[in-house]
Amino acid sequence: MDGRRENGRVPIFLDSFLPGLCYPPSVSTASPVHSSVIIRHSAIVRVTHWVTVVCFFALLITGAEIVVSHPRFYWGEVGNVLTRPLFTLPIPSSRDTVPTGYGYVMPDRNGWSRYLHFEAAWVLVLTGLVYAIAGLFTGHFLRNLLPVRGDRNWAAFRRVFAKSFRRAPPNQLESRSYNPVQRTAYLLVIFVLFPLVIWTGLALSPAFDSAVPLAVAALGGRQSARTLHFFISWLLVFFLVVHVAMIFLAGFWSRVQAMVTGRVVVSPEGK
């Protein structure tokens, strides 16, 4: 069977990126009534995925610790406890200079949180660069993430949503390839949310702003940048929650196994 074309779809397995780490395109030629093992994720995708997972949790936890030291948000250039906030989080603070009304000061974790936040950010950015460069060279983005030509419309999106509202199990095709909603979500996370969260984070660095003042000016000031950094982080958390929920829906172990070993077992009925 030619695994590359099915219902006019583009390739249904992900090629390995590096020649040295390449797996043969081992889509089974066995008769369709039997289960077959296909290569789902390339080595680069799997390694960068799990490094990103570790970094993301490190950034999330340390980011929360840093926010706790000043759980007030502002818009514009400046903001402090003497200025009116845009909003405040209903939590105690780790600093007694912040009037939270709780009469309780949380332990201060900013020191190691800031160290780890930036270290994890470096690993994430470098991993992202490897992923992006490899993805461009191998056509991963065009082939596996850009919705295929016939799917760039609302009808294709509606079909995916309708199917998941029926809680139908994934069919064989979906075990091999991403559906148009997945593709769009992944592209948004990779090319919109991650660049935005990096930009708004860098804009919080006074030294970086001295070299690239436009980085913070274009966001409307440093407190706006901080508030945007906070909201974009929440969008990434929202993606993570939906992503994990969909993995449970599709079959948790099968999908986790695919992202660890690269292989997924496809039975004729799907799964």
Partner 1 sequence: MKNISRRKLITSGLAATAGIAGLAAASRVARRYGLIPPDHGGIYGAGETLTYAAQRLLTRHSLAREFPRSMISKTPFANETAPPNDAFKRHQAVGFSDWRLAVDGMVANPASFSLSDLRSLPVHGQITEVVCEEGWSYIAEWIGTPLAGVLSAVGLLPQARYIVYFSIEPNWWESIDMADALHPQTFLTLGMNDGDLPVSFGGPLRMRVPRQLGYKSVKYITRIVATDSLKSFGKGLGSASPESGYAWYAGI
Q: Can you give the binding site for partner 1, defined by CB under 8 A? A: 18-22, 66-67, 69-70, 72, 77-83, 95-97, 110-112, 114-116, 118-123, 204-211, 213, 216, 222-223, 226
Nearer to partner 1, 226 or 255 (CB): 226
Give the whole-angstrom CA distance, residue 224 versus residue 86. Answer: 10
CB of 112 to partner 1, least distance (A): 6
* Residue 14 C-beta: closest distance to partner 1, Å: 18
Beta-bridged to residue 270, according to DSSP, are: 267
Cβ atoms of 106 and 24 within 8 Å: the answer is: no
Distance CA 51, CA 126 (A): 10
- Least separation in angstroms between residue 171's CB and partner 1 is 33
- DSSP label at 21? G
To the nearest 10 degrees (0 to 180), the angle between helices 194-202 and 110-138 is 140
Nearer to partner 1, 123 or 190 (CB): 123
Cα separation, 138 vs 56, whole angstroms: 25
DSSP per residue over 221-236, as a string?
SHHHHHHHHHHHHHHH
- Which is closer to partner 1, CB of 43 or CB of 189? 43
Residue 97 CB, nearest approach to partner 1 (Å): 6
- Beta-strand pair 36-39/87-88: unpaired
| Phi and psi based region of residue 86 (left: phi greater than 0; alpha: psi -120 to 50; beta: remaining) | alpha
| Number of Cα atoms under 13 Å in the Cβ half of residue 63 | 21
User: Tokens representing 1?
Assistant: 């069977």
Q: Return the number of the residue (46 or 176) whose C-beta is nearest partner 1.
A: 46
Rank residues 110 and 182 by Cβ distance to partner 1 and give the closer one.
110
Shortest Å distance, C-beta 32 to partner 1: 28
Which pair of structure tokens corresponds to residue 252? 């948790």
Toward partner 1, which CB reaches closer, 6 or 209?
209
Least gap, CB of 9 to partner 1 (angstroms): 28
